[in-house]
Amino acid sequence: MLEFALHEWGGAFLRWFHVIAGMAWIGSSFFFMHLDASLRAHPEIAAGKGGAAWQVHGGGFYEMKKYLVAPDHLPAELTWHKWQSYTTWLSGFFLLGWVYYAQSALFLIDPAVRPLTPMAAATIGIGSLVLGWFVYDLLCKSPLGQNENLLAVLGFAFVIGMSFFYSKMFSGRGALIHTGALMATFMSGNVFRIIIPNQKKVIAALLAGQAPDPKYGKQAKQRSIHNNYLTLPVVFLMISNHYPLTQTSAIIPVLVALITFAGAIIRHFFNHWHADHTKAPWWYWGAAILALAVAIWLSWQAAPGRVSLLEAETKVAAKAPPAASAAAEILQTRCSMCHASQPVYEGLLSAPKAVQLETSEDYARHLKAIALQAVVTHAMPPNNLTEITFEERQVLALWIAQNNR
C-alpha cells in the first residue's frame, strides 16, 4: 500500500514543482517581451542598438537598458535566464511519465482508439516528442524557414497534424497532453539548442575581439518569437485534460487549431499593446473570442451523449417510468469499483477527486458531474475500463433528466 501513497504524493510534488517552474519561466518571458516592447531611445545608446525603459516595482525605480548586440564591455556578472525553461521541461517530462506512462490504463490507453501495450504507448509518446523536435528544428533551419509567415503556417499545420496522429493513438486526454508536451518541447528545445548556444557564440566572438555574426541573433529572435506565441496555447493544453468536453477524439485537431489561434492572437494583441497603447488592435479580441466560441459550440455538437440527454428530456415529457433504481445499479456496477470509500481498483487509495458513488445521496449530489462525465462525454469510466454500454448511459440520461432541477 505504501507505494500507492508515495505515487500519489510524488505526483503532487512533481506537479507543484512543474507549475512553479512554469510560472517562473512564463513570468520572465512575459516580462522581457513587455520590456522589449516598451524600450525607448536613450542618449547613451546609439539608434538601433537598443534602448531604455523605466519601471517601478516593490518600492524602487529601475532603469532598464538594452544593448544590441552587446555592451562595449562585458559585465563581470551576468544573469542567464535558462533554468526556468529547463526545469519546466524536465519536471513536465517526469510528470507526464508519472501520471500518463505509469498509469496508462487509466489515462493514456483507450482500447477503443488503439489497444496499445503500456510500453508501446510510452515509446510512441516519448519518441514523438524527440522526432517532433527534429522536424520542427529542420523546418526552421530550412530555406522555408527564411519566410516567417510561411514558417508559421507550416509549424501550425505540423502541430495540428501531430494532434491528429495522437488522437489516433491515445485517449482524448492522452492526445491533448501530448500535443501540449510537443509544443512545450519546441519551446524548451529552442532555449536549450538555439537561444542560449547562439548567445554564447556571440559572447565568444566579442571576447575574441571579432564582430559576432548577426545570423545568430536573428535565429535566436525567431525562436524566441515562436516561444512567445506558443505560451498561451500550451498552458491551455496542459489543463485541458481536466475538462472532458475537450476530449472527444474526432474534434481534437480542430480544437487544437482554434485554441492555438486564439492563444497566439491574444499574445499578439499584448505585444502591440505594450509597444503603444494607442495603437492596440482591439479587434484581435473579437477574433479570439469567436475562435473560442466555435470551440465551445463544436465540443457540444461532437459530445457523444448530447443527443441521449435531449432524447431523455422528451421521454420525461412522455412520462417515462422512474429510472432511479436502474441508474443506481449501473452506477454501482460501472463506477463504484473506483468511486468508493475503499476502491478495489488497484492503485487507488480513496475515491478519485473525492467523488464517492455508493448511496442514493451520493448519486443525487453528483448528478451534474455524472451527466457531464458519463453521459454527455464518455470521459468516465476512464477508457471504459468497466465496459459500460451506450444503452446504460441512456438510462443514466433518463434518470438525470428526471431528477435535474
| Positions in the binding site for ligand HEC (CB under 6 A) | 106, 242, 334-335, 337-339, 345, 352-353, 355, 366, 369-370, 373-374, 380-382, 385-386, 388
Q: Do residues 337 and 345 touch, judged by C-beta distance below 8 A?
A: yes
CB of 284 to ligand HEC, least distance (A): 32
Which lies closer to ligand HEC via its Cβ, residue 222 or residue 386?
A: 386
Which lies closer to ligand HEC via its Cβ, residue 39 or residue 385?
A: 385
CB of 169 to ligand HEC, least distance (A): 20
Query: For residue 279, what are the CA distances in angstroms to 224, 227, 271, 274, 284?
Result: 23, 24, 11, 10, 12
- The residues that bridge with 57 in the sheet, in sequence order, are 60
CB of 297 to ligand HEC, least distance (A): 22
Q: What is the DSSP letter of 170?
A: S
CB of 4 to ligand HEC, least distance (A): 13
CB of 71 to ligand HEC, least distance (A): 50
Which lies closer to ligand HEC via its Cβ, residue 217 or residue 343?
A: 343
Run of H or E residues at 67: strand 60-67
CA–CA separation, 332 and 350 (whole Å): 16
CB of 99 to ligand HEC, least distance (A): 8
DSSP annotation string for 288-348 = HHHHHHHHHHHHHHH-TTHHHHHHHHHHHHTTPPP-HHHHHHHHHHHTTTTSSSS--STT-
Which lies closer to ligand HEC via its Cβ, residue 181 or residue 380?
A: 380
SS3 (DSSP) at 54 = strand
Is there a cis peptide before residue 381, judged by omega within 30 degrees of 0?
yes
Which lies closer to ligand HEC via its Cβ, residue 177 or residue 374?
A: 374
Residue type, 168: K
Q: Do residues 395 and 323 touch, judged by C-beta distance below 8 A?
A: yes
CB of 214 to ligand HEC, least distance (A): 48
Number of other CB atoms surrounding residue 97 within 10 Å: 14
CB of 7 to ligand HEC, least distance (A): 12
Residue type, 372: L
The contacts of residue 37 (CB under 8 Å, 6+ apart) are 271, 274, 275
CB of 388 to ligand HEC, least distance (A): 5
Which lies closer to ligand HEC via its Cβ, residue 291 or residue 338?
A: 338
Which lies closer to ligand HEC via its Cβ, residue 266 or residue 327?
A: 327
Which lies closer to ligand HEC via its Cβ, residue 217 or residue 352?
A: 352
CA–CA separation, 366 and 357 (whole Å): 8
Which lies closer to ligand HEC via its Cβ, residue 267 or residue 339?
A: 339
CA–CA separation, 79 and 27 (whole Å): 16
CA–CA separation, 387 and 352 (whole Å): 19
CA–CA separation, 121 and 259 (whole Å): 25
CB of 180 to ligand HEC, least distance (A): 15
Q: Do residues 191 and 138 touch, judged by C-beta distance below 8 A?
A: no
Which lies closer to ligand HEC via its Cβ, residue 233 or residue 382?
A: 382
Query: For residue 388, what are the CA distances in angstroms to 53, 103, 350, 395?
Result: 61, 20, 22, 11
Residue type, 173: R
